[in-house]
A and B are shown apart, each in its own frame.
Chain A
Amino acid sequence: QLQLQESGPGLLKPSETLSLTCIVSGGSIIDSSFYWGWIRQPPGKGLEWIGSVYYSGTTYYNPSLKSRVTISADASKNQFSLRLTSVTAADTAVYYCSPVIGNAFETWGPGTMLTVSS
């Protein structure tokens, strides 16, 4: 059973760079059976897909965030990461990581809250 755990800074100032990590247990990040995604939910709003990374390193990003996002995988640590530059208050959200299995986000981490405030 895959388990995921997000970790992040909690609070950032506008214009800073967000770095989040998703630690994967119960499975290998280089298993070709699935790939990995980041999703977020701003307060009072719906779910928004940020992007995905395949075991090969191939990435796909939400067009609305593409210029600021980088997702990468680290097989040696069995984790994958999200980097979001130039954050603003609009990036305040709960950030989730999830494996994509059978075209669906099958298991979700507990989420990590990010607040962007000066």
Chain B
Amino acid sequence: AQRVTQPEKLLSVFKGAPVELKCNYSYSGSPELFWYVQYSRQRLQLLLRHISRESIKGFTADLNKGETSFHLKKPFAQEEDSAMYYCALTNTGGFKTIFGAGTRLFVKA
């Protein structure tokens, strides 16, 4: 069965500090993994996907198949990064995207 676990409901860091939002998944096949972000009063939107191996707004995420993790990292957090972050998994060749419970990131000045 597909499952996405985000162990932290809330993460609070100071501006300029590194941030890591954890995501672990359970899936027997080859998953496709994504991070979505929801800023205050905005729609949920894609932040990045593992297949692209890209860096968006300074965020990166590496898929670790051995640890079944896809943690989101940024070396220096900014106040505008404050938002709700969701890790998501799509089964390859399927039609279902499953989301984790989300982590609210609060970056303090």
Q: Tell me whether A and B are bound partners.
A: no
Interface residues of A (CB under 8 A from B): none
